[in-house]
């Protein structure tokens, strides 16, 4: 069966991208999985190679907020995330742009596909710039951990199918706000794009998707029907903590396989695929912010960098106001509407 997790990073900031990511595993069909809480615990199944708290030996996978802080930097994120790009038949990303090309699929405003990192060149602080990877750890450390991760996956009969991400930079984010008038809907639009891909890619396999809940929404059935167009949506549960839906499919060969979507609070602490998606989202956002801060600090050396969150973003925007005027930087490129 397919087990996937979806999470975001950067929902609240004023500056920089909102990033939504998905991680996908193929696992042996469990004897019973009546709810998301009964799904196999991948931390336990992969324990020889995986841990929650960095121990200097295994691959750390956890809620990105527990692995990253501005003081700690991205070392733990890199040592937990990048080994998945060293699994057999995968290519280690040497820089941010090649990383984006490996995890992002994009469409232009005309609907045609475009190079995954093309959007960066719409912004002066990203244009013709890049970040070499890894930033803080070492490639040989990542590769050693990938060897043990590969062995643990094989021993448990688990396949890591892949990772995907959708960065929504300011222009795209603001267009979404203009369309939906709602930040949560902008985020859900990206989430739904991943759900739709899973729906189309795995028609003959059972699929469980766990999504970390953002905001106060508890009712998702109309949105799931609008975006995915299943035969029907069965509501298993809708509460403040948990919303669970089974989407009915057309069956070509016998009984249709389960496609279940669970929206749960704090799911990145209970489901490894969600935690891994959280890490990818956070890592990509931080790589964008490295370039962003480098650009502005090249223009003013004493400028204190920003993480982009509301209070400090106001300070930062005030500090760079003379530069914004001199460079004629349009706020539509720089500042989120909400």
User: Which domains, and CATH codes, for the chain?
Assistant: 2-334 (3.30.420.10)
How much is the pLDDT for 110?
A: 36
* CA 8 centroid distance within chain: 5
How much is the pLDDT for 254?
A: 65
- Where the chain has pLDDT below 50, the residues are 107-112
Smallest CA-to-CA distance from 242 within 16, 12, 35 is with 35
How much is the pLDDT for 60?
A: 98
Distance CA 248, CA 261 (A): 12
How much is the pLDDT for 252?
A: 67
Number of Cβ within a 10 Å radius of residue 6: 28
The secondary structure of 185-209 as a DSSP string is HHHHHHHHHHHHHHHHH-TTS-EEE
How much is the pLDDT for 113?
A: 52
pTM above 0.75, yes or no: yes
How much is the pLDDT for 311?
A: 95
- Are residues 164 and 14 in contact, defined by beta-carbon separation less than 8 angstroms? no
- Are residues 189 and 181 in contact, defined by beta-carbon separation less than 8 angstroms? no
How much is the pLDDT for 111?
A: 42
How much is the pLDDT for 203?
A: 92
The dihedral formed by the CA atoms of 268, 271, 273 and 277, expressed in degrees to the nearest 10: 0
How much is the pLDDT for 117?
A: 93
Distance CA 94, CA 233 (A): 43
Q: How far is CA 83 from CA 19, 149, 240, 264, in A?
A: 20, 8, 35, 27
How much is the pLDDT for 112?
A: 42
């Amino acid at each position: 069966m397919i087990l996937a997790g979806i999470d975001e990073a950067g929902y609240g900031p004023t500056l920089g991208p909102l990033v939504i990511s998905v991680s996908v595993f193929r696992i042996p069909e469990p004897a019973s999985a009546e709810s998301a809480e009964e799904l196999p615990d991948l931390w336990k199944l992969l324990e020889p190679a995986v841990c929650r708290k960095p121990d200097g030996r295994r691959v750390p996978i956890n809620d990105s907020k527990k692995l990253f802080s501005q003081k700690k930097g991205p070392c733990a994120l890199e040592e937990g995330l990048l080994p998945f790009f060293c699994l057999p038949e995968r290519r280690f990303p040497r820089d941010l742009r090649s990383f984006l090309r490996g995890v992002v699929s994009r469409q232009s405003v005309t609907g045609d596909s475009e190079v995954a990192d093309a959007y960066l060149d719409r912004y002066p602080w990203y244009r013709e710039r890049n970040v070499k990877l890894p930033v803080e750890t070492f490639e040989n450390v990542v590769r050693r951990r990938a060897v043990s991760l590969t062995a643990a996956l094989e021993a448990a009969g688990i396949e890591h199918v892949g990772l995907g991400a959708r960065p929504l930079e300011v222009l795209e984010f603001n267009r979404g706000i203009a369309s939906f008038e709602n930040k949560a809907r902008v985020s859900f639009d990206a989430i739904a794009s991943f759900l739709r891909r899973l729906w189309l890619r795995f028609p003959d396999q059972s699929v469980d998707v766990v999504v970390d809940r953002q905001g106060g929404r508890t009712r998702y059935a109309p949105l799931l029907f609008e975006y995915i167009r299943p035969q029907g949506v069965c509501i298993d549960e809708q509460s403040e903590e948990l919303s669970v839906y089974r989407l009915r499919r057309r069956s070509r060969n016998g009984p249709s396989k389960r496609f279940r979507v669970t929206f749960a609070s704090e799911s990145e602490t209970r489901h490894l695929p969600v935690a891994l998606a959280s890490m990818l989202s956070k890592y990509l956002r931080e790589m964008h912010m490295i370039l962003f801060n480098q650009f502005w600090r090249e223009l003013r050396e004493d400028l204190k960098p920003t993480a982009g969150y509301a209070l400090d973003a106001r300070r930062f925007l005030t500090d760079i106001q003379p530069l914004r005027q001199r460079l004629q930087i349009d706020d539509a490129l720089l500042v989120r509407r909400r």
